[in-house]
Chain A
Amino acid sequence: MTAITAVGPKRVTIDRQRAIAGIFVMLGVVDFFVFGLFASNGDAVFTFTLNGAAVSVPNLSLPAGPVSEGIGALTVILGLLYAGVRLSKIPQRLVGVAVVLGFVVSFLCWSDAGRIPLPFVSLMQSTMLAAIPLVLGALSGCLCERSGVINIAIEGQLLLGAFAGAVIASSFGSLWLGLFSGSIAGGLLAILLAVFAIRYMVDQIILGVVLNVFASGLTGYLYDQALVPYQNRLNSPNTFVPIKVPVLGDIPIIGPILFDSTIFLYITYAAVALVHIGLFKTRWGLRVRAVGEHPTAADTVGIKVLFTRYRNVVLGGLVAGIGGASLTIGSVGSFGKDISSGQGYIALAAMIFGRWTPLGATGAALLFGFSVACANVLGTIGAPIPSDFLLMLPYVATIIAVAGFVGRSRAPKADGQPYIKS
């Protein structure tokens, strides 16, 4: 492996701290000049109260230009300080979060200046909704890849999960059964992935791509063959109704965003917590990571490498399948051809962006979900930015991340390499 690492290109060693500082300064400049100086006259108004909420929160009205300019100036100063001062890990991250938040705020101000008020709560609600399949897909990726199996088949797992969820929920009239079978369907594709990757040692990148094509072809075929003619019986499931968590759901702003959603959001919370704790706080996770980093060593101490990999891949498929089901019975109900529309690949991107950690992946998935939600919501208020660019954002961000400008994103060492017991 050292040999292979040595093969890697001669890296251009840019001081990472300076590079990040440079990006901060650039963002600050964009805040100031683009969002600040080019903001339309008039205030950006954010509404925080949904219709029928118990507690009403006053609207926030910001003068778009000056606010963006202020944020921009502050960001530039932060960036310059960042270049000069060595910070420990936590303040470093805080500065990063602050810069990104500042960018988002000034972007929203610019988008909304002089237009109809921006419904902040519903923007965040659709962010969460968009993030659910991304988070679950990314967790599937984490589970697989931490054990050493590359999972590009997330897209296929989402698609099969969505299909099975809709069809089973519709034909048996039980949403829970739909959720369950969506998960199983994702697991079935994962079994294919596991068997061909682990037993037959097919290259895992190829395998993932092929399985995605397979899932797309299969669901597309069955859709035309069975779901179109029998739309009423097979493809008109109900959808889960939002469940409001008592007390927490009544908190203004936060309540409707975080605690008033379908069961899928709560499953997602649980899944993130479980995968994070499982991978990093338990003996189980230590073993999984050992298998993903150095299978020979893991084998030597008696960990069953192949079994661990099979189990993790299938587990990942089950998780992604739930994410797939959320696309149908969690939101729109009926299944449509290629309903996952590349979200599996965004989930993959989120996992890479989050450096193969569940929490990082969740953060990235939320960010990506936010850009999708912006594309939908800002279109309706007539914001001056084409939605295509917002939809492009997750992918561009990932390219920047893997190019090492945002700190190198490193895969588990044995990721993608079949293990042969010698």
Chain B
Amino acid sequence: MTQQDTGPGGTVASDPPGTPEPAEGASSGTAEDARKAGLKGTEVAISLLNAVLEGSSAVVTFLAIVTAVIIGGLLIAFTSPTVLHAWSHLFSAPGSAFSQAWDVAASAYSAMFEGAIVNPHTVSAAFHGGSIAQIFNPLSETAVNATPLILAGLAVALAFRAGMFNIGATGQFIGGAMIAGWIGFAVHLPMIIHVVVAVIGGVVGGSIVGGFVGGLKARTGAHEVIVTIMLNYVMEYLILFLLGLAVFRAPGLPNPVSPPVATNATLPHLAGATLRINAGFLVALAAAFAVAWLLNRTTIGFELRTVGANPNAARAAGMSPERTWVTVMLICGGLAGLAGASVILGTDFALTPQIYGTYGIDAITVALLGRASPGGVVLAALLYGSLDAGSVTMQAQTQIPVDIATVIQALIVLFVAAPPFIREIYHLRGRRGGESGQLLAKGWSS
């Protein structure tokens, strides 16, 4: 038990909202230490070593990712028919079983890499007169997959900082996608204006859903986790219902699909029509900057963090937690709605009943992995985006189902959320005199 008490990492796990900047605080501390140590390389090396042995939050995150990837590899290896076949001959040819297992997992991960970062074949093809754009296709796919994750991840992270769990990114995403999509296909506007209006419509759509949650919490104390989970399903059925109506339904199609959005309303491509990367990615990065600015440089951000850290103190200081909850949920809803807009206007172009995918749920894991900081969310979303993009290529090349990416993502977050667990399996000693355990995990009643 002592380990938990001294764990710095209780930070993420047990408490996204409560601790304003544990990570930043810690890292600036070590940076300062390093500066004091001057140029004495050995001391720097020692402090670095200590950081590793103690399991600082960066180390824990890294080990969590490694562990998840290893477990994913084992899962791939031991569910592959060829490997299982080799295992049945374990005693006659023991080497083959292990080498087969290694081969299957290695080929899966290398295919994943080729789909997410760079594929050597396209590079060599480019030298022989192939398309240069093709080299960047994997990176473009990663960015495209990361875009809604960044935006929805911010929606969850910002709420965390205000002490709220926004499980409802799915519902807010649908709200945004619905309105952005409707403006996209039903309204006719000139070029640039159309896409801007549609994107704003997405923000508004998400805000309505998010604001409802905030308002309900402020007025009646309804726990936002329950309300958001329920709203997700309400919105899922709502979009299904709307796609059955003539207003939303593409004429002449048997499936519940909306007409495609007008070309004027699509987000422009950033690197030619062959690559799917679009302005949505820039919007997402801008949103991350805006959220960072909001959190650290504005009164709203200060109130938000104060309410997140201690609503009692905030109220005593004259702030209104209720008003903050509503504001935060309006903004969070807007961000998730923006994610919806980025998907409908950037990649999908038509509303379908499954438009929301798993973005809303992945957003929670992204926000946790990113430790609820805007920069962290961007990095985490890029990692998840690369896993998603890579797993598609992996399935095409090796027939290993894409769902392995979901398993790895879930495991990463599970481990990141439990630093004591990672420290135990890697025998890290835990931070000396570290922060006391962050046990701000809250129940329904808070």
Contacts and interface: CB of A to CB of B under 8 A. Distances in A.
Interface in B271-325: 311-312, 315, 321-322, 325
Interface string A190-227: 00000010011111111101111110111011111110
B444 A201 contact: no
A391 B233 CA distance: 9
Interface residues of A, number: 70
B292 to A, nearest CB: 23
Contacts of A97: none
Contacts of A207: 414, 417
B22 to A, nearest CB: 15
Nearest to B419: A200
Interface string B354-369: 0000100110110010
B79 A222 contact: yes
Contact of A218 (B1, B361, B407): B407
Interface stretch (A21-29, A98-106, A312-320, A411-419): A411-419
A420 B227 CA distance: 30
A402 B14 contact: no
Given A229-B81, A410-B445, A417-B443, A209 B364 contact: yes
B404 interface: yes
A214 B79 CA distance: 17
A111 interface: no
Interface stretch (A2-10, A64-72, A84-92, A246-254): A2-10
B219 interface: yes
Contacts of B230: 345, 349, 395-396, 398-399
Interface in A299-348: 342, 345, 348
Contacts, number: 213
A141 to B, nearest CB: 11
Contact of B216 (A4, A218, A352, A399): A399
A392 interface: yes
Contacts of B237: 388-389, 391-392
Interface string B406-446: 11011101100110110000000000000001010111111
Given A209-B361, A229-B81, A403 B238 contact: no
A210 B241 CA distance: 29
A13 B230 CA distance: 24
A6 B445 CA distance: 11
Contact of B15 (A5, A203, A223, A391): A203
Contacts of B238: 388, 392
B165 A205 contact: yes
Contact of A220 (B79, B403, B420): B403
Interface in B220-268: 220-223, 225-227, 229-231, 233-234, 237-238, 240-241, 244
B75 interface: yes
A8 B221 contact: yes
A196 B421 contact: yes
Contacts of B418: 196, 200, 202
A283 interface: no
A81 to B, nearest CB: 26
A63 interface: no
Interface in B199-227: 216-223, 225-227
Nearest to B407: A217
A203 B216 contact: no
Interface in B54-94: 75, 79-81
Contacts of B13: 200-203, 206
B311 A392 contact: no
B364 to A, nearest CB: 6
Contact of A420 (B226, B410, B420, B439): B439
Contacts of A3: 312
Nearest to A346: B233
A143 to B, nearest CB: 16
A403 B368 contact: no
Contacts of B421: 196, 200
Contacts of B407: 214, 217-218, 221
Nearest to A345: B229
A416 B442 contact: yes
B4 interface: yes
B404 A217 contact: yes
Contacts of B240: 388
B404 A9 contact: no
A404 interface: yes
Contacts of B217: 9
A150 interface: yes
A217 B403 contact: yes
B401 interface: yes
B414 A196 contact: yes
B167 interface: yes
Size category, B interface: 35 or more
Contacts of A421: 1
B219 to A, nearest CB: 6
A203 B417 contact: yes
A342 B361 CA distance: 13
Contact of A352 (B80, B226, B358, B409): B226
A148 B443 CA distance: 9
B376 interface: no
A224 B442 contact: no
Contacts of A342: 233
Which of the listed residues A10, A206, A207, A226 has the most CB atoms from chain B within 10 Å of its own CB?
Answer: A206
A242 interface: no
B400 interface: yes
Contacts of B409: 213, 217
Given A200-B418, A203-B13, A391-B237, A348 B413 contact: no
Nearest to B421: A200
Nearest to A145: B444
A221 B439 CA distance: 34
Nearest to A8: B221
A416 B441 contact: yes
B138 interface: no
Contact of A392 (B233, B244, B401, B417): B233
Given A9-B219, A201-B10, A411 B444 contact: yes
Nearest to B17: A203
B445 A386 contact: no
Nearest to B412: A210
A179 B4 CA distance: 38
A417 B442 contact: yes
A61 B210 CA distance: 46
A395 B168 CA distance: 13
Contact of B75 (A203, A221, A348): A221
Contacts of B4: 200-201, 420
Contacts of A4: 442, 445-446
A148 B368 CA distance: 23
Given A203-B441, A211-B410, 9 more contacts: A196-B417, A196-B418, A210-B413, A216-B403, A221-B79, A388-B237, A402-B226, A413-B445, A416-B442
Interface of A: 1, 3-12, 148, 150, 152, 196, 199-207, 209-214, 216-218, 220-226, 229, 342, 345, 348-349, 352, 386, 388-389, 391-392, 395-396, 398-399, 402-405, 410-418, 420-421
17 contacts: A4-B445, A7-B311, A9-B219, A196-B417, A203-B15, A203-B442, A206-B413, A226-B79, A352-B226, A388-B241, A388-B244, A399-B222, A399-B234, A404-B220, A410-B445, A411-B444, A417-B442
The 10 A-B pairs of least Cβ separation, nearest first, read: A416-B443, A217-B406, A224-B401, A411-B444, A214-B410, A220-B403, A221-B403, A388-B241, A200-B418, A395-B230
